[in-house]
């Protein structure tokens, strides 16, 4: 197995693992936030605009860690720097 | 399938490659400027106003109300910057539904440029309202030990602002493309509708976060001043 195959295989596995580990943990955190916001809304319906705005901002902040994982896996698949390097090396 | 619209190059202008990001940013800018110019050319205060004026008035009022909800003061100070950010990102994201249009926000260059604008605007607003010394002192709060973390936070939140918008818009485009390859009949429509929703939410999130950062730079001082003046002003506040 030459280096290009090895890099391709590990990149694909890691791309899957990155999203597979990063997304569920973020989802758990977001689920917690939403559930607490729901109980806060049930207790104080008058504060709905403030609660939902804060919830949205918090969710966006939390969501960004899952987005980072997604971006990393996309880079691994579509714009892998090591792959291009070794492909150039093999071509030359 | 290209990951960013930067890779689609239409031509070369001196040292700059004219890529899809640039072209579609110009399209969005032209659309916003010409549309607003056409509408605001004939403003009226009569009982019946044109549809365009009504639309712009609704957009403006909504943005002003949202800003007022967050900062609790006159929104007109923040309106030009935040409103421009929101409208530009919103139009970019929503036009993604048009076939052939690549949203410029799906490229790191656009989103990092927008985030850099916020990065510059935060100290600018902070210094304008609190003075240079007052703004720099905010880095030493709550203790001088926090100085490195405050400085680091300035940089990391700029990066996360740009990567968040880029990741969301890029994933929308990618998911639509993947869905088209797997189940081309009906599924892409649902994913496109979801992409529209995400685009609007991300435009809202980006501008609200920018506003929160700016407000945190301008307002800490005012809160303190309000607290010290609280006893004498209590009657007028109540």
Give per-residue pLDDT as tens, B130-161: 888 888 888 887 788 888 888 998 898 899 89
Q: Is residue B212 packed enough to be buried (19+ CB in 10 Å), middle (13-18) or exposed (0-12)?
A: middle
Q: What is the DSSP letter of B49?
A: -
B167/A49 touch (CB, cutoff 8 Å), yes or no: no
As a whole number of Å, the end-to-end CA separation of chain A is 19
Record: contact A71-B3, CB cut-off 8 A: no
What sign does the CA torsion over A53, A57, A58, A60 have? positive
Q: Answer yes or no: is pLDDT of B226 > 70.
A: no
Distance between B73 CA and the closest CA of chain A, angstroms: 16
Rounded Cα gap, residues A73 and A89, in angstroms? 24
More confident residue, B98 or A35: A35
Quickly state the pLDDT bin for B220 (edges 50, 70, 90): low
Q: Closest residue of B to A49, CA-based?
A: B69
> Which residues in chain B are closer than 8 Å to A22, comparing Cβ atoms?
none
How close A33 comes to chain B (CA, Å)? 17
Measuring CA to CA, which residue among B180, B176, B178 is closest to residue B193?
A: B176
Using CA atoms, how far residue B35 sits from B21, B48, B58, in Å, is 21, 20, 15
Answer whether A2 touches B (CB < 8 Å).
Answer: no
Inter-chain CB proximity B168 and A67 less than 8 Å: yes
Inspect the interface and report whether the beta carbons of B163 and A71 lie closer than 8 Å.
yes
Which residue matches tokens 């400027």? B33
Angle formed by the axes of helices A81-91 and A3-43, to 10°?
170
**Mean pLDDT throughout A45-69?**
85
∠ CA A52-A37-A24, rounded to 5°: 105
Query: How large is the average pLDDT for residues A38-54?
Result: 90
Six-digit token string for B182: 């797997």
Residues on chain B bordering chain A, Cβ-to-Cβ distance under 8 angstroms: 1, 3, 69-70, 160, 163-164, 166-168, 170-171, 174, 201-202, 204-205, 208-209, 212
The Cα angle at residue B208 between residues B207 and B214, in degrees rounded to 5: 90
Q: Chain B partners of A67 at a C-beta cutoff of 8 Å?
A: 163-164, 167-168, 171
Task: Please tell me the distance from the alpha carbon of residue A6 to that of residue B218, in angstroms, as a whole number.
Answer: 53
* pLDDT tens for each residue of B119-138: 999 999 999 988 888 888 88
A60: tokens are 């966006």
| pTM (2 d.p.) | 0.83
Which has the closest alpha carbon to B91: B203, B205, B206, B191? Answer: B203
The reported pLDDT for the residue numbered B235 is 45
- Average pLDDT value for residue range B29-58: 88
Cross-chain Cβ contact B166/A71 below 8 Å: yes
**Over chain B, what is the mean pLDDT?**
85
Q: What pLDDT does residue A21 have? A: 94
DSSP letter, residue B104: G
CA atoms within 13 A on the CB side of B154: 17
- Whether the per-residue pLDDT at B224 is higher than 60: the answer is no
Question: What share of chain A has pLDDT > 90, as a percent?
Answer: 39
Distance CA B166, CA B163 (A): 5
Q: How many angstroms from the chain centroid is the CA of residue B238?
A: 35
- Confidence check on the interface: ipTM exceeds 0.90, yes or no: no
| DSSP helix/strand/coil, B180 | helix
Question: Which residue of B5, B159, B163, B167 to mutate against A (max A Cβ within 10 Å)?
Answer: B167
Interface test with B, best of A52, A59, A64 (most B CBs within 10 A): A64
Which pLDDT value is given to residue B236?
A: 45
Residue B86 banded pLDDT, cuts 50, 70, 90: very high
Residue A69 distance to chain B (closest CA, Å):
9
Q: What is the pLDDT of residue B61?
A: 94
Extended strands (E) in chain B: 9-13, 16-19
Rounded Cα distance, B77 and B222, in Å: 15
> Other CB atoms closer than 10 Å to residue B126's CB: what's the count?
24
Q: Give the CA radius of gyration of chain B.
A: 21
> In this predicted structure, what is the pLDDT of residue B62?
93
Tell me, rounded to whole angstroms, the distance of Cα B114 from its chain centroid.
Answer: 7
């Amino acid at each position: 197995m030459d280096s290009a195959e090895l890099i391709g295989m590990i990149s694909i596995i890691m791309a899957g693992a990155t999203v597979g580990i990063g997304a569920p943990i973020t989802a758990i955190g977001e689920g917690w936030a939403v559930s607490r916001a729901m109980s806060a809304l049930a207790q104080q319906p008058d504060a709905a605009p403030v609660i939902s705005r804060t919830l949205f901002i918090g969710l966006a902040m939390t969501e960004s860690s899952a987005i980072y994982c997604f971006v990393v896996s996309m880079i691994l698949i579509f714009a892998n720097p090591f792959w291009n390097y070794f492909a150039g090396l093999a071509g030359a | 399938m290209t990951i960013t619209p930067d890779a689609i190059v239409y031509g070369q202008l001196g040292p700059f490659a004219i890529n899809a990001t640039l072209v579609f940013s110009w399209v969005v800018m032209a659309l916003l400027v010409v549309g607003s110019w056409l509408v605001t050319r004939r403003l009226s205060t009569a009982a019946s106003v044109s549809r365009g004026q009504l639309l712009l008035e609704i957009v403006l009022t909504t943005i002003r109300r949202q800003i007022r909800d967050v900062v609790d003061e006159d929104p007109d100070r923040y309106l030009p910057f935040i409103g421009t950010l929101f409208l530009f990102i919103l139009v970019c994201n929503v036009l993604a539904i048009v076939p052939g249009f690549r949203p410029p926000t799906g490229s790191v260059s656009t989103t990092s440029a927008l985030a850099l604008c916020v990065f510059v605007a935060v100290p600018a607003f902070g210094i304008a309202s609190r003075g240079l010394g007052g703004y720099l002192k905010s880095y030493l709060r709550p203790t001088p030990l926090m100085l490195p973390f405050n400085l680091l936070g300035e940089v990391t939140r700029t990066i996360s602002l740009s990567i968040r918008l880029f990741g969301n818009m890029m994933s929308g485009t990618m998911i639509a493309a993947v869905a088209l390859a797997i189940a081309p009949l009906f599924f892409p429509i649902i994913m496109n509708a979801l992409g529209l929703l995400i685009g609007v939410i991300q435009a809202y999130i980006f501008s609200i976060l920018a506003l929160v950062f700016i407000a945190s730079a301008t307002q800490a001082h005012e809160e303190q001043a309000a607290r010290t003046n609280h006893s004498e002003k209590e009657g007028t506040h109540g």
